[in-house]
Chain A
Amino acid sequence: MISLDLLLNAVVAGVLLGGFYAAVSLGISVTFGLLDVVNIAHPVFVILGAYTAFTLNSAYAVDPLLAGVVFAPVFFLLGVVVYRIYYTSFESKGESSQAGGLVFFFGILFIVEVALILKFGVDYRMIEASYVGESIHLGPIGIAFRLLVPCVAGLLMTLLLYVFLGKTFYGRAIRGVAQDSLALRLMGADPVKIKTLAFGISIATASVAGALLIMISPVEPSIGRAYIGRAFAITVLGGLGSIGGTLAAAMILGVAESLTSTFSGPSWALAVSFGILLLVLAVRPAGLFGRR
């Protein structure tokens, strides 16, 4: 017998989780959807962000969210460096180097992950903030702050990125760069610079997403792998390059996972994203809101 309270709580938790998933997936939505760069190492940068927040929080009691925002520019620079290497080694050499690019990001994934293991060990780490343990109750529904704050932050990030990509010159240039880089050059913008900017922004979102991650649950270096499937499932389901679609898909996956873990056990939640990914690729590769 499924109780209504349980169902309602699972849906609300799923929507909140979805807001956070959006924060993790936005970066991939930009690089994979708009730049055509398959950065499978993105989740490991999110983990790096989580450990940055952890370090600042445990040493100086800095608020994790503040730490994530403060370190976003550092992550931006990191992204610029990574993209520069990627561009000169693979992208500038044409289509046939795409496999090399994938291998490159795979190597980065391992290097960052193992470096974190060597520095912090494999113990779960968590942060402390006054609001993390709190929750509010609306009738039978309980809303934990550790889920609410990441969700609101994720929504805010989505909104900011949406406005940036839609209304500003650089944002529009980023949206145009994969479609027609020649036209972009004729308008006086350097496609490589635009892509570098976009990649930097993508990694910068990982800093904030990491801070949100460690707020939701304790973090250990290898949990990033679980987010590879999730984030790409969300990006593909939402339609490549669609920011609004990414948010919608993140919510769908969040609710689907939350329902699965409530009714058939948390260990099956991981299989949901993979099922969705395969289903979308088989049935509608353009995703829900895709152009292609």
Chain B
Amino acid sequence: MKGRWLLVLALVLLVGAFVLTRLVDNRYVYFAAYVVLQYVVLATAWNILGGYTGYVNFGTGAFFAMGVYTSVFLIQSVGAPLPVQIVAGGVVAGLLGLGIGYLTLRLRGTFFSIATLALAVVLQTMIINWEYVGGAKGINIIRPAQAPFFSNYVEFLFMVMSLLAIGSVAVAWLIEHSRIGRGFAAIRDNEEAAECTGVPTLRLKLLATTVSGCLMGVAGAPFPYYLSFVDPVSAFNLSYALNSLAMPVVGGTTTWLGPVIGAILLGTTQQLATVTISSELNILIVGVILVFFVVLAPEGIVGLVRRLARRADA
């Protein structure tokens, strides 16, 4: 029942986004909204692994950049259209997640986290040395002149990202409300006990890293068209890793709603704040908020609201 209502809500939001593009003409709105929606995808993707199973990924930037550079490569080589780029970006980043997971997840979980940290540095080095996709100095990407049904390309990309955001939240919701989700929760709470009661922990963990990595790649794939310019610094930016982790933690990691709340809250504030304060100060504030929440309110906003609601009931 609840699922049906959410489906209706998702459709309403999509239609609302479409109607918005007919009414509002200010391109900055879409430019900023795109970033917030992109963070909804990234935070949701991070949470599928980090929140549901409890394995912390520090390499969001690397998976995101895999999506970005898969697109760049496809544009450069065959001029593939955007949907192909998105699918390909998802596949490449998903395989990367699977590979890293396979090499590190059979051991203690912390090895996975450490590997993801190092992964970003190494992949960035490789891209810097790969001239075909722009190397260190970056590459200019020419957008298609026209977008179907839309007056300009930014509005089109905004719509695409809305679709991706709702799609990834739907994936998270479906996982949460299935056997797989219960398996994930069992891993998070006590992996040894889960293993003993017959939960196929390794397979589930690999599924989580693959889906999570795939969605991060999907989020990155439209990026070359969005900025029209890609260089390793922007694609591998560490603020992706920080934000995609801080947003679920601030919102609450155990439900699909947490990352969405966190992404909208932190994403919007940062979009507004970049106008007035430097990006460094921005990152500093996010870092402080992250530490504050993880130390004092580890259940996030969703957890706080629930606790208040329970107190009101009693």
Contact = CB atoms under 8 A, between A and B. Distances in A.
B125 A110 contact: no
A111 B287 CA distance: 6
Nearest to B114: A232
Interface in A74-125: 85, 89, 95-100, 102-104, 106-108, 110-111, 114-115, 117-118
B115 A38 contact: no
Interface string B35-76: 000000000000000100011101000000000000000000
B129 interface: yes
Given A96-B188, A110-B287, A270-B122, A278 B294 contact: no
A268 interface: yes
B103 A278 contact: yes
B109 A274 contact: no
Interface residues of A, number: 42
A108 B118 contact: no
Given A107-B290, A115-B284, A102 B295 contact: no
A282 B103 contact: yes
B291 interface: yes
A24 interface: no
Contacts of B114: 38, 40, 228-229, 232, 277
B132 to A, nearest CB: 16
Contacts, number: 125
Interface string B113-145: 111011101100110110000000000000000
A267 B109 contact: no
Nearest to B122: A274
Contact of A118 (B119, B238, B284, B294): B284
Contacts of B189: 96
A117 B115 CA distance: 26
B290 to A, nearest CB: 4
B291 A98 contact: no
B50 A228 contact: no
Given A106-B58, A107-B294, A268 B283 contact: no
Nearest to A101: B294
A106 B110 CA distance: 13
Contact of B249 (A103, A228, A268, A277): A103
A99 B54 contact: yes
Contact of A99 (B50, B283, B286): B50
B7 interface: no
Interface string A206-238: 000000000000000000011011001100100
A196 to B, nearest CB: 17
A74 B56 CA distance: 31
B303 interface: no
Given A99-B50, A114-B280, A285 B290 contact: no
A226 B125 CA distance: 11
A32 B114 CA distance: 11
Interface string A262-292: 0001011011011001100110010000000
B115 A277 contact: yes
Given A103-B249, A233-B118, A282-B103, A270 B50 contact: no
Interface of B: 50, 54-56, 58, 103-104, 107, 109-111, 113-115, 117-119, 121-122, 125-126, 128-129, 188-190, 238, 242, 245-246, 249, 280-281, 283-284, 286-288, 290-291, 294-296, 298
Counting from the closest, the 3 A-B pairs by CB-CB distance are: A229-B118, A110-B287, A107-B291
Interface of A: 32, 38, 40, 85, 89, 95-100, 102-104, 106-108, 110-111, 114-115, 117-118, 225-226, 228-229, 232-233, 236, 265, 267-268, 270-271, 273-274, 277-278, 281-282, 285
